Structures are given as C-alpha cells and as structure tokens.
Amino acid sequence: MTVWPPPRRLMLGLALAGMVAAGSAQALAQAQATSVCPAVPALPTLPVEAIPAPVPVPYWNQRVQELDKIISSTDLARVKLLFLGDSITQIWDPQVFQRYYGQRAALNMGVASDTTQGMLWRLGRSPLGQQLKPQLVVLMIGTNNAHNPKTEEVAFGIAQTIRLIRQRVPESKILLIGILPRGATTQDWFRTPVAKINGLIASCADQQHIFFVDPGASLLDSDGNLSERMAADRLHLSAAGYSILSAAIEPSVRALLGH
C-alpha cells in the first residue's frame, strides 16, 4: 500500500472538500431558484445566466460607473419605486417616466446591454437592502439572454435575480415584467424563446411578494406585428411604445404602491 506524504493527503482532502462544497452550493442555488419560481426546472449545472459576472461591453461599464455616481448623490432612503433592467429600462422615455413615476420617488437603475448575470453582479455590489429599501421593485430583464435557445437557463437566471432581490429586501414587492416582444413579425426567431421564457417565469408570481405582468400583447397589432411606430428597431420602444407599456403596468404599480 502506498502511503502518501501528509502534504499530498492534505491537498486531496482540500480538493474533495472543495468539490463537496461546490456541489452543496450548486444544490442550494438550484433549490432556492426553483422554490422562487416553481415552473423553472432544476438544472444539472448552474447556467452562465445564474452566475454573477460583469458584461464585457464598454457602455455597460460606463453606465455602471454613472449609476455609482447617481446612487452616491441620491437620498436612497426616500426611494419608494426602483426600476431594474437593461436598455429598455434605462432609456424609458423621460417625459413618460416623469408623467407616471415623477411623483413616486422613483429611481431608474437600468443598464444598457445588461443580462441576468450582469444584474446579479450589479446587485451584489449595490446598496439594495442597506440604504436602498424600496416599496416596489419593477424588474424587466432577460431579452439580452434570449438568444440562448435553452430557455430554461434564461428563466433560471431570472429566478436567481428574483431570489437575490427577495434576500436583500424581503419586505419589498417585486413586479416582474415579462420579456417584451422583439422582431417585426410573429415569424421572428426571438418570438418563440421569449414566449417560452415568459411562460416559465410567470410561475414566479406568488401574489404576496412577487407579481407578474406580461404587457407585450399591448404593443402588437392584431396580426402580432411590432410596428416601427412602437419600436423603430423592433426592440427598443419609442415614446408611443413607452406610453403603452406604462399604461399597461400602471394598474399593478398603483395597486402595489398604494397610490
């Protein structure tokens, strides 16, 4: 029988312990995500969408730095309504945003090019749950992950994002907005995965802390087309598109904020 020197035994023990710990952490993450969103299936390994990571896009980093400055100069204790999302959130038409949310102590923390993994990374270093404890979080994320044909992985990333928000601000309500339609017609490649992802994340709504609204149909015509008037590039909304979106989610926002 070969007797290993203590250092080698120690290294093997540490390696095995690391594997067990990693497996336990993954199992815990799986359980937490599926407990938040029951229809999102457990996966054999954590997908990229559920692992916090900066988005390797220069503008994303610039916007994150810009938000750091905005956050540092904002009285976060006064924020009652927090918007989290990607470019569709960030570039919310200013006049529409002011009309609907200007008197509601709102803060827009949208970041263009953001993904679920990017948002997980951002939230991990944010003051959410410290100085920032909004009454309502409006969450719209996932369109920049929707190119992944494994829609359950994207849904899992969204579930992890919701789980983290719940962990940081358990008293806050979350209004999860379904991924908006993209592409001019129903034949566009993105329509199918977006519909599948929305079908999975709709299960996240427990009607106590988490609420789901899918306003996408209100942006489409009777044939299911997304017109240039709604979104010139068939993705980012125009002022008219934001007016319709804001009106569509307003009943939920008003009910959850109480005004």
Q: What domains are defined for the chain?
A: 6-257 (3.40.50.1110)
User: Between 6-36 and 151-168, two packed helices, what is the crossing angle to 10 degrees?
Assistant: 90
State residue 239 phi and psi, 5-degree precision. Answer: -60, -40
Region 206-210: mean pLDDT is 97
Q: What is the reported pLDDT for 7? A: 46
Which of 9-13, 55-59, 175-179 is predicted with the least confidence, judged by mean pLDDT? Answer: 9-13
pTM of the shown model: 0.88
Mean pLDDT for the chain?
Answer: 91
pLDDT above 90 (res 62): yes
Single-letter amino acid code for the residue at 18: G
Q: What is the reported pLDDT for 32? A: 57
pLDDT above 80 (res 1): no
- What residue has token string 């579930």? 159
Q: What is the reported pLDDT for 23? A: 55
* H-state helical runs in the chain: 6-36, 58-72, 87-90, 94-101, 116-124, 151-168, 191-201, 239-257
Region 54-82: mean pLDDT is 97
Please, which pLDDT band fits residue 162 given cuts at 50, 70 and 90?
very high
For the chain, the distance separating the N- and C-terminal CA atoms, rounded to the nearest angstrom, is 75
Region 195-207: mean pLDDT is 97
pLDDT, tens digit, for every residue of 98-130? 999 999 999 999 999 999 999 999 999 999 999
Residue by residue, DSSP assigns 171-203 as: TSEEEEEPPPP-SSSTTSTTHHHHHHHHHHHGG
Region 221-238: mean pLDDT is 98
Q: How far is CA 46 from CA 3, 15, 23, 88, 135, in A?
A: 37, 20, 10, 27, 30
pLDDT above 90 (res 16): no
Single-letter amino acid code for the residue at 201: I
Q: What is the reported pLDDT for 179? A: 98
- C-alpha 232/C-alpha 236 separation (Å) is 7
